[in-house]
Amino acid sequence: MKTVWEKYQDSMMQECFQFNESYKQFISACKTERECVKEGVRLAKAAGYTDIQEYIAGRKEAKPGEKIYAVNMEKDLCLFVLGKKPLSEGMNILGAHIDSPRLDIKQKPLYEDHGLVLMDTHYYGGVKKYQWVALPMALHGVVFKKDGTRVDLCIGEDPKDPVVGISDLLIHLSADQMKKTAATVVEGEDLNVLVGSIPTASKEEKESDRVKSAILKLLKEQYDIEEEDFISAELEIVPAGEARDYGLDRSMVIGYGHDDRVCAYTSLMATLQIEMPQRTACCILVDKEEVGSNGATGMHSRFFENMVAELMNCTEDYSELKLRRALAASKMLSSDVSAGYDPNYPSVNEMKNTAFLGMGICFNKYTGSRGKSGCNDANPELIAELRACMEEAEVQFQTAELGRVDQGGGGTIAYILANMNMQVIDAGIAVQNMHAPWEVVSKADVYEAYRAYAAFLSKIQ
């Protein structure tokens, strides 16, 4: 099969590269869930979307063609474009997650050790810990003070900002370290972020706390943050810097958080261009996928179900039975990334069922591990319908599994929506370096995913 590049004409090539310029801006600016939702809401409002709370408060009727969004705790975002058919007849849904592996600052993080001040972290999601050392890192997040005051932080992204980071042991003294396995060469409790080294001029402080006192003074003066405020903070350590073109031919993008913001962005943009679908079009961007989709902002929460219920109450006579019918009649693409083939590590793949960069959007009939444990196994009826849809829209797709059968595995939010009795399949983009600080995708796959998601929303019945 030819790559997408071989099929693009000049106009399509230009559209592909232009689309990826916007994507690079998004992924560079949106490195936390809150930042993704904030930017998603901004784009939605610009496209004519209205907050669902306005419908609820005003008991306003929602009509076909109207565009509505809903936000949950600044970490989840749902977009709806009401279709010509009643909501109870089902929706076409795109679902992606906007959390990515990172390091979270602990609630009591600051300490001084021989003139250096560090912050304790707890890694979030599945990571190879040794990949997160000796890199420039940025601090993103929010702090809430006791009086309710909110302080938003983003330190390390502006070229004039300082960056922070985690040290690694120099090769000259690492004889014992090099004997360890990759899983333990850097321990989780050793992922401590270095943040300062100049002591305060005050002689009243203990010698062992003078640098820490200086850092606390800086935090108070520049950000109005005190040490106790870390208790009610949500601060994330992420790689500093912008997404960039990758490869001498600029065919790829290297950036932090492709998993899964590459699918989130393409799903969002596909939804924003839908005007009057037959079936209601929906985009769900959710938190906590990397840690099991639990909690109030994970896909296991009732947020999405509640918003569909609220929407139904604004469009037709609500009933619990109609809600159940609407969910069961829906079809969904669980928009999540796949493991892209890496020529440096071919042994983990079964080559006939592997995702390749530049070959288009990837459909995974199932994920899970070993004996398909924890998977959603898509029905062939849905796959056949998607094949016809992609052919009609002239979208290139490929199919894959997540590596060799006994090599490992993974999962997405697909099974959670499938538990509502809807038909779901994983559909995403091949990624190299998945869960590393810097991941790689093909620009062609990014653009084909956007085209595929738009076709699914408008054509699937």
Report the Cα 393 to chain-centroid distance in Å: 26
Cis bond before residue 260 (omega within 30° of 0): yes
Give the residues across from 67 on adjacent strands: 81
Domain boundary at 211, 239, 267, which? 239
Instruction: Please tell me the distance from the alpha carbon of residue 274 to that of residue 278, in angstroms, as a whole number.
Output: 11
The more confidently predicted of residues 370 and 55 is: 55
DSSP 114-154: TTEEEEEEEEESS--GGGGSSS-EEEEEEEE-TTS-EEEEE
pLDDT band of residue 177 (cuts 50, 70, 90) is very high
CATH number of the domain encompassing residue 398: 3.40.630.10
Same domain, yes or no, for 311 and 380? yes
Nearest by Cα to 249 from 443, 432, 430: 443
Determine the structural domain holding residue 354 and report its residue range. Answer: 4-100+256-459
pLDDT the model gives residue 410: 74
**Residue 413 counted as domain residue:** yes
pLDDT band of residue 426 (cuts 50, 70, 90) is very high
Same domain, yes or no, for 233 and 160? yes
Same domain, yes or no, for 60 and 89? yes
Same domain, yes or no, for 68 and 200? no
**Residue 14 counted as domain residue:** yes
Same domain, yes or no, for 403 and 450? yes
Same domain, yes or no, for 202 and 261? no
Average predicted confidence (pLDDT) for the chain:
94
Domain boundary at 213, 239, 265, which? 239
**Residue 48 counted as domain residue:** yes
Q: 158-172, 269-283, 407-421: which range is least confident on average?
A: 407-421
**Residue 32 counted as domain residue:** yes
pLDDT the model gives residue 453: 98
Pairing of strands 280-286, 91-97: parallel
Nearest by Cα to 312 from 96, 71, 68: 68
**63, pLDDT greater than 80:** yes
Same domain, yes or no, for 196 and 275? no
The pTM score is 0.96
**185, pLDDT greater than 90:** yes
Instruction: Please tell me the distance from the alpha carbon of residue 113 to that of residue 319, in angstroms, as a whole number.
Output: 61
Calculate mean pLDDT across residues 317-324: 93
Same domain, yes or no, for 342 and 401? yes
**Residue 251 counted as domain residue:** no
Reported as a single tens digit per residue, the pLDDT across 435-460 is 999 999 999 999 999 999 999 999 98
Domain boundary at 204, 239, 274, which? 239
pLDDT the model gives residue 384: 96
Same domain, yes or no, for 193 and 71? no
Reported as a single tens digit per residue, the pLDDT across 352-409 is 999 999 999 999 988 877 777 777 888 999 999 999 999 999 999 999 987 777 676 6
Give residues with Cβ within 8 angstroms of 27, minimum separation 6: 243, 253, 255, 256, 257, 258, 261, 262, 265
**Residue 248 counted as domain residue:** no
**303, pLDDT greater than 70:** yes
**Residue 245 counted as domain residue:** no
pLDDT band of residue 205 (cuts 50, 70, 90) is low
Considering its fold, how many domains does the chain have in total? 2
**34, pLDDT greater than 70:** yes
Same domain, yes or no, for 79 and 190? no
pLDDT the model gives residue 402: 79
Same domain, yes or no, for 282 and 370? yes
Same domain, yes or no, for 44 and 116? no
Buried-state track 55-83, b at ≥16 Cβ within 10 A, e below 16 = beeeeeebebebbbbbbbebbbbbbbbbb
Calculate mean pLDDT across residues 412-416: 90
129 touches 191 (CB < 8 A): yes
**Residue 183 counted as domain residue:** yes
CATH number of the domain encompassing residue 108: 2.30.250.10
